[in-house]
Structure 1
Amino acid sequence: MGEESVSACEGAISSWENGRASPLSFLKTQRGILVDELEEYIDFIVQQALQKQLISKDDYEDVVYEGGPRKQVRKLLDIIDCLGKESAACFCSLFIEVKCSKLKKETPKRNAKEYLKGIQKHKDVLLRRNDCLKYYNCRHGEKFYFSDHFVNLLLVKGHYSLEIKQNELLTFGQQRICLQSQKEERLDITLEQLFQKLCDRRSPKKILVSGVAGIGKTVFVQKILYDFANTAAYENFDFALNFTFRDLNFINKPVTLRELILKKHGHLSHILDYIFNNSEKLLVILDGFDEFKCYSQLDLEQYIYDPDEEAGLPHLVGSLIKGELLPEATIVVTSRPTVVNHIPVDSIERFVVITGFSETEIEDYFQRFYGDSIYGSEIFDLVRQNYFLFTLCYIPAFCWIVCSVLKGSSTLQIDQPKTMTDIYCHYLVVLLKHHTRQESCVDKTLLDAVLSLGRLAYQSLLQHQTLFYEHDLETFPNLPNDIINSFLDKTCVQELVSTENILSFTHFTIQEFFAAFYYANEMQLSEDIMDNGVQTRLDISTGYLDLFNRFLSGLLSVRNQNVLSRHLKLDASRKSEAYRSWLAESIIEHCENGCYIFNLLHCLFEQQMDCLAARITPAMLRLNLSDNIFSPIDFDVLTYFLSLVNMDIEELDLTATQVNAQYLKQLQPYLNRCTRLWMGENNLDTEMITVICSLLESPDCQIKQLGLGWAQLEDEEFLQLYKALKNNKTLIQLWVEGNNISSEAIEQFSDIPLFTTSLQHVILLGNRIPAQRLTEFKEKPYRNVIVAHIDESFGIDFWQGWWDWIFQRCKICSDEKIVSFLTKVFSGLSVFNEKNTSWMNTWYTEVDKLLQLRIRYCSITNIKKRMESLQQMFMQQASSH
C-alpha cells in the first residue's frame, strides 16, 4: 500500500475517532483501503469478530468459505454494513486494535524494501571486506581467493583443552592424528553444518571453535562471512556481525553493545532496533579470544540484558556468551586452546576443533602453490619424508611458509632445512631477496632494518606484548615500509577522534624468531632475557621462552651462521661458543639431577653439531620428558640425543607423552640400557604392551623399575606382562597403580616368584580390588610381592621414593594437570585402611601447601574451584585416620 493511502486511512480514522464521521460512512469511504489493510489479518479479525459476537456463526462460515482473503474482507464488510451503526462502531474499534497491535509488530513488513535493502547493503559491505585474504607476506597487489583455501573442521565431544603446551604448533601434527583416530569421540562436519541440528538436538546457539596458532581460525571466520555475504549459505541468518578481540582490546571505557556494533557497522543504524528484536536471525562472531586482554574476567556475578546498557567489555562479552544479552542470537567464539578454560564452557553447546589440512589437502596445496601437479607432488613427497616439516604443514600458515622456503631455496642454493630455525632463516632470506627485489646479497641498510625489527620483537617479548601502534615505530627509524609490510600485519582501529593503525608480527613465532635474531647479534642488550633475575622481575613463566631458546640455538649454529653470512653479509656472532658451553653445562646439570630437560634437547637438536655431544658427560643420565604430547619431531630429538650420548640411562620419564608403539620400537635399542623407565598415563594398548614385553624379554634388558601407572591396563595386558616377566632377570619393581586390573588377574599373577628371583614388588594401588581381597592378599605368602595398598611394613624409604616422584611431577605440572594427576593419586591413597603414619601426614601437609600456593595464583575460576575441592579431599582423608 502506498504512503498516500496510509495517510488517507489514518486521516479517516482520526476523523471518525473525533466524531466528524460516522462508522458506517468510514467503512464505505475507506472500503478499498480496508481491503488492503485487512488482507493479511482476515483470519485473525474474523475470529475476533465472532468472539466479540459482532457476527454469528453463520456469518463467520459465509466469510471463511469465500475464495481468497480479499473476497473474505469484502464479505465481512458487507455483513457489518448490514448490521447497523452500533456493530460498525465496534468493528471500527476492532480494526484500530488490530492495526495498532499487528502493525506495531510487523513494522518491517511496512518497510520491507528498506529492510531488504539494509540486508543487501550489509552483505555488500561484508563481501568487500572479506572477498579475499591478504595471505602471510604476499607481494603487493597479490591476492589469494577463498577457492585456494581449505577449512577442515572436526566436531568433538566435550571440552578440548587438556594439556596443550606452550608451543602448541609443534605438537599439533600428532594431536591431529590422535583426534582423527578417536572416531567414537568425533564427527567430521562441513562449514554449512556448523549451525545445523545434529544428532536430534536443537540447533546450537553458543559455539566454541578452537585451534592452535596458524591453523586457520581467522580464515574460517572470513570464509563464513564471505559465504554469508555471497548468499551461498547460512540462510537462517539475516545479519552476521564479527568482532576481533585484537580490536576490542583498545576500548578502555564502558560501552554499550549498540555502540560496539555501530563503531564497525555504522550502516546498520536505522535498522539496528529491529535486529535486536529479532536476534534469532543474528550471528555474532567473536574472533581470537586468546588475544583478549580481559580473558580472565568472565566469571560474572551480574549480567547485561539491554543492548543500550553501558558496561565494561568483560561484562558485555560474558553476557553475550552466557546468553543473557541477546539470548536468541547465535554466538561463535574462536580461540587458541591455551585459554579456553576462561570461557564459561557450561554455556557452550557445540565444541569444534579446526584441524587444519589433512594429508591429501597438504598435497593438493603443494600442487596449487607450485602451479604444477606433478612437480608439486614431488616436493610433497620430499617433505613427507621429513617428520618435522610434515608436522608443520598440517597448519595452513606454516604450509605456506614451508612451500615458500622450498621454492626460494631452489633458486638461492640453500641446503634443505632440517630444523625449525633452518625453516625460519631460509624464510627470512627468501622474503628479503624476493620481496625487496634484492637477488644479490642484502645491503647494510636492509640488514640494519632487520636488526631494528629484531629489537622491536625483543623488547615486545620482554614486555609480553604482541600488539603496538604505528607511532611506536618512530623509535625505530631504520624500518622501511618493505620490511614492515613483509613481516608485520596492519589493522586499522577506530579510536574516539581518529583512526589508528595497529601492528603485530604475522605470527607470534615470527616475533620470537626476530627476538632471538636480535639477541644473537646485539652485544649491548638493555636487558638480558636469559638472566634468571630478569626473568623473575619480568614475571617470565616456565615455558614462555622455549621457542625463543630453540631459535637462539639454531641461529648460533654453524650451519645457519653460514647461511646468514652468505646471504645477508652478517658477521658471525661472538656469542656462539659461549652459548654452546652454556648448553652443554645445562644439559649435564639437568641430566644429573633428573630435572625437566625437554627444551634443552630441542636446543641441542637445533645446533646439528654432533661433536658437541663429546662435551656432554654427566655422571648420571636421567631424562625427564614427562607431560609433553610428543610429535614425530620430539621423538627424532630424543633419538638424536640418545644416539650421540652413548652411556647407560639411569632414568627415562615418558609419562603422559602419548608415546605409541611405532616410536617405542624406534627407541627400543636405547631403552635396553635404561635402569628406570616410567611410561604411565599413556594409552598402553596391546600393541604397546607387546613392545614392552619384547623389551623385558631381551637379553640386553637392564630395566630394574618400570612404571605403567594410570595407563588403562586391563587383565589381558597385565597377564601379557606376567608371561614376559617369566623370562626377565632384571626387573625389581613394577608400578601398575591406577589401572583396571581385577583381583582374579592378580591372583593368577601371584605365582611370579616361582619364575623370577629379581622381582620384589608389584604395586597395584587403585585397581579393581575389593576391600575384602586386600585383607586376603596380606595373608598370602606372596604379600611382599603384591602391594595392593599402602602397608607400613614395606618401610618409609619404599613409599617415600614413590611420593618424591609424584611431588616432583606436581611441581612442573600446569594447574589443570595437577588436578587431573592428584585426583588419580588420591584414588590410590584412599585404599589405605590401616592406622595413619607420621610420614603419610607429612605427604598430606606437602600437598596442602602446594595446592594453597597454586590456588592463590590460579586465574582460571573453574580450575581454582577444582583445586579447592581436591585440597578438601586430601585433608578429609588425613583426618579420617
Structure 2
Amino acid sequence: MPNFSETKTPPDKRLQYETLNSDFQTHRKHKAFKDNLLVIFQDLESKIIAFLKNEFEKFKKILKKENLQSLVKDFNENRCSIKEAALDLTLYFLREMKQNEAADTLEDDLIFIHQLKCSLKKKYKCVFEGIAKQGDSTLLNNIYTDLYITQGCSEQVNTEHEVRQIEVTSRRSESQEIPVDCTNMFETPEQDKEIRTVLTKGVAGIGKSVSVQKFVLDWAEGKENQDISFIFPLPFREMNLKEKETQSLMGLITQFFPETKGLNLTRRNNFKVLFILDGLDECRLPLNFDGNKTWSDVSSQVSLDVLLTNLIKGNLLPSALIWLTTRPAAASKIPPDCIDRVTEIRGFNDAQKEEYFRKRFTDENQAKEIIDHVKKSKSLFIMCHIPVFCWISATVLQNILDERRSNDVRNQTGDVSKTLQESNTEDTPKTLTQMYTHFLRFQIQQSRRKYHGEYTLNISWDEKAIFSLGKLAFHQLERNNLIFYDTDLEACGIDVSKASVYSGMCTQIFKEETGIILGTTFCFVHLSIQEFIAALYAHLFLDIQKQSVFVQDSMKQEKHGTMIDLLKTAVDKALKSETGHLDLFLRFLLGLSLQTNRLLLRGLVTQQDCSDQIKKEIVQYIKQKFEANLSPERSINLFYCLNELNDQTLVKEIQTHLNKGSLSSGDLSPAQWSALAFVLLTSEEEQEEFELQKFKKSDECLIRLSAVIKTSKRALLNDCNLTDKSCSALATVLGSDTNLKELNLNNNNLQDTGVKLLCSGLKNMQCKLEILSLSNCSITEEGYKALATALRSNPSHLIELDLTGNDPGQSGVKQLNDVLQDPDCQLKTLRFLGAAAEEACQYVTGIVGKNPLLLRELNLSEHELGDTRVNQISALLQDKHCKLNTLM
C-alpha cells in the first residue's frame, strides 16, 4: 500500500498551486469590496452632505449677519483642517458661480475680521498706570469714564498755546455746545450729510488716545460700530520711523497687522474701512497736500507722505473713513476742505474736576481739603481741566499731607489736623512752578526709595542725567516735537541702551514706549512736564556754562551770561511766538528764578544771582511790554508770569479801581487795560453780563475788553458812542467759540459800514448769537442787505432782532423779507420801525402769510396802517398755524 504522507508535490507544481490560491483570494476580496462599495459611498455621501449642510447653514447665517459674533468665534475656536476644507470648497464654488461678493464677505468675516478683532482686543483691552514697562495693567472697561466731546468748526484752527485754550475753555457753558458721543463719531443729526473724515482736537493729556482705545475695543468686542468691516489704528509716532521708505498701503497695513496678509481692500464696493491716524501733532512727515502727486493704487509702492496725503484726500481708497486726532496747534496740517467734521475733547468741567479728586481719595476730608486748596489758585484750578494735571496735583498734595502727618507722628506733636492752607508757603504749592517742582522732587524720591532703598527727605540729584534730559526737552520744544527717537536722544548725550534708566529715575516724567511693529519711541508724560524740564535745563545751563541757552549756538558767544539776560530774552521770544509755544515755558522759567523755588531744588541749581533786585527788574521789564498794545492772549500770559513771580501790583491796582467804581471816568494805561481784562477773565464768578458803560464809553475800551465779551453771555453795549471801529472786534468775537448769546448795540452810530463788518461774524457757522439789538444805529438799505446775506448764510441761530429807528428803504425791506420766508429761519421776535406804512404792511403780510410758524412778536406801533392793511393782518392772525401772540 502506498504511503501518501510521504508523497511530496514537485516544487514547480506547489508554486503554481499557491499562486492560483492567492489569485482566488484576491478575486474574492475584490468582489466583496465591489459589492460593498455602493454602501460605503452612500454612507460617505450622507456624512459629507450632512457636514456640509451644517457648515453651509452657518455660512448662510454669517452672510445674513445673524448671530455673527458667536458663529465666527465658534468657527475659529473649533477650526480644523476639515472645516477649512469646507470653507475652501464653498469659496471655490461660490466664485465659480460668479458670486464673488458673497465669497469675499464670507472669507473676510471668518478669517481676516475675526483675526484682526482678536489682535486689537488683546492690544487695547488694558491701560497701564505709570510706565508701560513697569506699571500695573488695568482693564480699560473697568476705569474708563466718558470724556466731554463737542462738535467744533473746521473754519478756524486755533494756534494758541494749549494752556491759553484751556483758560478760555474752562469758562464756557456746556449748554452752549453740541455734545458728541465718541461711539457715533461719524454720525450727525443731518442724515443727508455724509461724514468721511473726522478731525478730533484736544490738548496733550486730555484723553484723545484713550478715546481711540475705547472706540477700537468696543468694535473688537462686538459692542459698537459693527457696520464697519475693518479698523486700522495707525499711530503717527510709529509711522515716523518709516518716513524714508517706500511702501504700498496694503504693505503698510500688513506691517502693523500681519494677520491681514492676503486681504484685498478694493474687491468689494460696500467695504467699510476706518483708518485711525492717531497723534497728528507727533507727525514728522511734511504732509505736502499741494505738492504731492495723485495716487490711487493700494498695491504699488510710493513714499509714506504721498500715501497718507492721498488717503486723507480720498484719492486712495475713497470709500474709507478717516479719523485723525491731534493737538489743536497741529490741526492746520490738514487742509479744511479735507475735513468733514471737527470735534474737540474738552476734558473735565469744573464739576468733574471735583469729582475726580473725590474718587481719587477715599478720605472725604482729605479730598475736600485738596479741592479747596486747588480752587484758591485760579491758574491751578484752570489747569485741572486736563486729567493729567489733576493727577499731578493729587500726587503732590497727597504726598505733602502724608509727609506732614508722618512728621507729626514722629515728633509726637499730634498736630495732624493742620491743613494745606495753614502750612508754610514754601512747602505748599500755590503756583504752577511750585506744583511742578514738588512733582519732580516727589518722583525722584520715589525712584530712590524703589531702586536704592533711600528714605531720607534730602534728595540726591543725578545732575548729569537731568541735564541731558533737560537738553532733550528744550531743543525738542523749540522744534515743537513731543515724540523722540534714538537719534534725538543720542544728540543730547543720552545712551539709548540706558534710556530705561532715565524713565526709572524720573518715574512719571519721561517714558519709553515700544511699538508692536516699528520700534521704540520716547516722550514726556505731558507737554507741560517737558516745558518745565526745559525751563529747569535753561537754569542748569546758565549755572554750568555761564551762558544763556538762547545764545549757545550763536556765532557770538557770551562769556558771562546773567540771569536777567536769560529772563528778558525768554520774555521777548515768547511774545514773538505766533503759536504761543513758549508761554508756559516762560512761566516756569520765571518761577524758577525765585529763591523760594530754588530752595526746593537745593543741590541741583545754585542759589546765587537770584536777588530781589533781579525780581524787581524783570517785573518792571514785563510791565513795560504792556505798552506795546499786545493781544489779549499775550497780555494774559504775562499776568500769569507776574503771578509766578508773586507780583500782584497791577491786579490789585485795578481791583481797587473796580471797588471804588472809578474806572468809567479814568484813562487807563495799556498795562492797566490788560490788567482789567485779566481780572475780569480770572474772577471766580462767571461773567454772565458785560456792561460797557461801567468802564468807559469808547471803541478803545470795547476793543481792549473784547476777550471779556467773548466769555460773557450777554453784552450790553448800548449808548456807548461806538462806531464801525468796534464792529470788526465784535465780528471776531461772534465768529469764534464764544458764550455770547445776546448783543445790544442800540443807539450807537454804527452805520452801514459797521453793520457790514458785524455781519462777517454773524454769517460764520460758529456764531450762535440769539438776540441782536440794532435800534437807532443809522442803518440804511446797504446795512439791511448785509443782514439779509448773513441770515441767509446762517439762518438757524437768531431768534430776536430789533431794527427799530432805522431806514431800510423799500429794497432793504424786500431783501430781509425774502430771507425771513425761508423755513429754516428761526426768528420769533421782530421789532421793525422806520419804514413807510405800505412797505411795512407788505412785509408783514408776506412773512406771516408764507411762514406762519415764524414770528411770536411784531411791533408796528408807529405805522398808520389803514383799514385795508389791518383787515389783511387780522385775517392772517386767524390762521391756525400763526404763532404771533404779541402785536403792537
Is TM more than 0.5 here? yes
Is 1:213 the counterpart of 2:229? The answer is no
Assess, with a 3 A threshold, how the Cα gap between structure 1 residues 687 and 131 changes in structure 2: closer, same or farther: closer
Aligned length: 628
Is 1:506 the counterpart of 2:528? The answer is no
- Structure 1 residue 428: Cα displacement: 1.0
Residue 339 of structure 1, aligned match among 330, 341, 355: 330
Assess, with a 3 A threshold, how the Cα gap between structure 1 residues 600 and 392 changes in structure 2: closer, same or farther: closer
Residue 472 of structure 2, aligned match among 452, 456, 467: 456
- Structure 1 residue 704: Cα displacement: 14
Counterpart-to-counterpart distance in 1, 2:464 and 2:324 = 41
- Structure 1 residue 219: Cα displacement: 0.9
Counterpart-to-counterpart distance in 2, 1:677 and 1:400 = 40
Counterpart-to-counterpart distance in 2, 1:676 and 1:705 = 12
Assess, with a 3 A threshold, how the Cα gap between structure 1 residues 310 and 340 changes in structure 2: closer, same or farther: same
Is 1:107 the counterpart of 2:103? The answer is yes
Is 1:260 the counterpart of 2:252? The answer is yes
- Equivalent runs, 1:819-830 vs 2, <5 Å: none
1:488 matched residue in structure 2 = 510
SS in 2 for 1:250: helix
- Consecutive unaligned residues of structure 2, counting only runs of 5 or more, are 1-43, 58-91, 405-425, 555-568, 735-740, 760-771, 788-806, 808-888
Is 1:294 the counterpart of 2:321? The answer is no
1:623-669 deviation per Cα after TM superposition (whole angstroms, max 9, x unaligned): xxxxxxxxxxxx999869999xx996234667999969955999999
2:646 matched residue in structure 1 = 608
2:444 matched residue in structure 1 = 432
Counterpart-to-counterpart distance in 2, 1:737 and 1:640 = 39
Counterpart-to-counterpart distance in 2, 1:743 and 1:200 = 36
The 8 Å contact of residues 536 and 589 in structure 2, kept in 1 or not, is answered as yes
The normalised TM-score by structure 2 is 0.59
- Equivalent runs, 1:278-289 vs 2, <5 Å: 280-289=271-280
- Structure 1 residue 216: Cα displacement: 0.8
The 8 Å contact of residues 714 and 742 in structure 2, kept in 1 or not, is answered as no
Residue 677 of structure 1, aligned match among 696, 701, 706: 701
1:580 matched residue in structure 2 = 615
Residue 467 of structure 1, aligned match among 483, 494, 516: 483
Residue 624 of structure 2, aligned match among 568, 589, 611: 589
Counterpart-to-counterpart distance in 1, 2:268 and 2:652 = 58
1:16 matched residue in structure 2 = none
- Structure 1 residue 737: Cα displacement: 8.8
1:519-566 deviation per Cα after TM superposition (whole angstroms, max 9, x unaligned): 12333449734459959999984433222111101111233123333x
Assess, with a 3 A threshold, how the Cα gap between structure 1 residues 173 and 577 changes in structure 2: closer, same or farther: closer
SS in 2 for 1:486: coil
Residue 246 of structure 1, aligned match among 229, 237, 240: 237
RMSD: 5.2
Residue 129 of structure 1, aligned match among 123, 129, 133: 123
> Residue type matched to 1:156 in 2?
Q
Counterpart-to-counterpart distance in 2, 1:767 and 1:587 = 43
> Residue type matched to 2:485 in 1?
Y
SS in 2 for 1:522: helix
1:809 matched residue in structure 2 = none
Assess, with a 3 A threshold, how the Cα gap between structure 1 residues 447 and 720 changes in structure 2: closer, same or farther: farther
- Structure 1 residue 206: Cα displacement: 2.0
- Equivalent runs, 1:582-661 vs 2, <5 Å: 582-595=617-630, 598=635, 599-609=637-647, 649-651=668-670
Residue 176 of structure 2, aligned match among 175, 182, 197: 182
Is 1:325 the counterpart of 2:316? The answer is yes
SS in 2 for 1:207: strand
> Residue type matched to 2:509 in 1?
F
- Consecutive unaligned residues of structure 1, counting only runs of 5 or more, are 1-28, 43-95, 617-634, 698-702, 723-733, 749-763, 772-787, 789-881
Counterpart-to-counterpart distance in 2, 1:384 and 1:248 = 41
The 8 Å contact of residues 136 and 397 in structure 1, kept in 2 or not, is answered as no
Deviates more, 1:102-111 or 1:659-668: 659-668
> Residue type matched to 1:102 in 2?
K
State, as a whole percentage, how many aligned pairs show the same letter: 23
- Structure 1 residue 431: Cα displacement: 1.4
Residue 149 of structure 1, aligned match among 127, 140, 144: 144
SS in 1 for 2:264: helix
Assess, with a 3 A threshold, how the Cα gap between structure 1 residues 193 and 458 changes in structure 2: closer, same or farther: closer
- Structure 1 residue 308: Cα displacement: 0.9
The 8 Å contact of residues 287 and 335 in structure 1, kept in 2 or not, is answered as yes
- Structure 1 residue 217: Cα displacement: 0.6
The 8 Å contact of residues 558 and 607 in structure 1, kept in 2 or not, is answered as no
Counterpart-to-counterpart distance in 1, 2:296 and 2:697 = 65
2:537 matched residue in structure 1 = 518
- Structure 1 residue 140: Cα displacement: 3.2
- Equivalent runs, 1:161-240 vs 2, <5 Å: 161-165=156-160, 167-175=161-169, 177-178=171-172, 180-183=174-177, 186=178, 188-196=179-187, 198-201=189-192, 204-240=195-231
Assess, with a 3 A threshold, how the Cα gap between structure 1 residues 383 and 706 changes in structure 2: closer, same or farther: farther
Counterpart-to-counterpart distance in 2, 1:669 and 1:415 = 44
SS in 2 for 1:280: coil
2:744 matched residue in structure 1 = 717
1:825 matched residue in structure 2 = none
1:77-125 deviation per Cα after TM superposition (whole angstroms, max 9, x unaligned): xxxxxxxxxxxxxxxxxxx99862435443347758xx52543332232
The 8 Å contact of residues 147 and 207 in structure 2, kept in 1 or not, is answered as no
Assess, with a 3 A threshold, how the Cα gap between structure 1 residues 742 and 231 changes in structure 2: closer, same or farther: closer
Is 1:561 the counterpart of 2:556? The answer is no
The 8 Å contact of residues 205 and 386 in structure 2, kept in 1 or not, is answered as yes
Residue 547 of structure 1, aligned match among 584, 598, 609: 584
Counterpart-to-counterpart distance in 2, 1:687 and 1:466 = 35
Assess, with a 3 A threshold, how the Cα gap between structure 1 residues 715 and 340 changes in structure 2: closer, same or farther: closer
Counterpart-to-counterpart distance in 2, 1:424 and 1:640 = 32
When Rg is computed on C-alpha atoms for both structures, the one with the higher figure is 2
The 8 Å contact of residues 687 and 711 in structure 2, kept in 1 or not, is answered as no
> Residue type matched to 2:621 in 1?
S
SS in 2 for 1:241: strand
Assess, with a 3 A threshold, how the Cα gap between structure 1 residues 110 and 298 changes in structure 2: closer, same or farther: closer
Assess, with a 3 A threshold, how the Cα gap between structure 1 residues 515 and 227 changes in structure 2: closer, same or farther: same
- Structure 1 residue 223: Cα displacement: 1.3
The 8 Å contact of residues 649 and 673 in structure 1, kept in 2 or not, is answered as no
- Structure 1 residue 608: Cα displacement: 0.8
> Residue type matched to 1:357 in 2?
F
SS in 1 for 2:259: helix
Assess, with a 3 A threshold, how the Cα gap between structure 1 residues 579 and 678 changes in structure 2: closer, same or farther: farther
- Structure 1 residue 333: Cα displacement: 0.9
Assess, with a 3 A threshold, how the Cα gap between structure 1 residues 278 and 38 changes in structure 2: closer, same or farther: farther
Is 1:364 the counterpart of 2:355? The answer is yes
Is 1:311 the counterpart of 2:302? The answer is yes
> Residue type matched to 2:257 in 1?
H
> Residue type matched to 2:250 in 1?
R
Counterpart-to-counterpart distance in 2, 1:288 and 1:515 = 22
